[in-house]
Amino acid sequence: MTWLRSFTPAAAAGASATVVVFPQAGSGCLRLHANAAALPQGLDLWGVQLPGREDRLADPPAGSLIEVVECVGTELRSSAFRRPLVLLGVSLGALLAHEVAGALESAGTAASALVVAAARSPEHWSTFPAADPPREELTALLHPAVRAPGPADYAVAALRADLGLMAGYAVPPDPLTRTALLSVSGRRDGVVTAAQMTGWRDRSLRYLGHRELDADHHSFLDRDVLAATLSCVADVAGACREVLG
């Protein structure tokens, strides 16, 4: 099964840029269906769907970060994706998006921009342990809506699998060179602070700065915050067309 899902309304079929969303750990991307109407004009919206959740529930979890990067990168190199291509990663999804951005650069098919939201910068993950915290710690990281025993069983399993991808993570030695980078934080985020995101400025030679939205850690895929984030992406896509061609 493919790793990418399309959420572009038919009315936006003529979009001039593609945005690919990497959801936070433990989450799937199908909730983007309900929020597709928030899409600013000119953007073609896609989501990354890791195995072991939603319409991929029967698929075994990804075995490694390398597997995720290779599979998603292979699909993104397809000519079906309009340029400029913008990768939008939320929380742990930002680390995955960052790795995919590096792989695309190495393959000569660089994304125009990477937008990282509510995500600690890579150096915070360089000493990440074996990623096997107790259940109660993982449950506390979940969206409040899925902390009840039934939904939490499913969500914790996906979250644990996603965190496991980062065991032994090594920060790439070099910054991105062709991919612009914008960081976005939530003013009410109690999980990741703006200070913990400052290292992103060193992860691209085309750093575009930092923006702050009125959001908490779990709301970046909610309609209003998604709309505001995608507006930032639209600005980035426009800047990329001007600066990168």
Give domain limits for the chain: 4-125+171-240
* 148 vs 98 pLDDT, higher one: 98
Q: How far apart are CA 191 and CA 91, in angstroms?
A: 9
pLDDT at 158: 74
Compute CA distances 137 → 62, 72, 144, 195, 220, whole Å: 22, 29, 13, 22, 21
Q: Give the pLDDT of residue 235.
A: 78
Q: What is the number of other CB atoms lying within 10 angstroms of the CB of residue 212?
A: 13
Taking only the tens place, the pLDDT of each residue in 97-134 is 999 999 999 999 999 999 999 999 999 887 665 456 66
Residue 167 Cα distances to 128, 132, 225, angstroms:
6, 10, 30
H-only helix segments in the chain: 65-76, 92-106, 135-141, 149-164, 223-243
pLDDT value of position 132: 64
Which residue in the block uniquely carries the two structure tokens 């069983």?
A: 153
Is the model's pLDDT at 188 over the cut of 70?
A: yes
> Looking at the domain that runs over 4-125+171-240, which CATH code has it been given?
3.40.50.1820
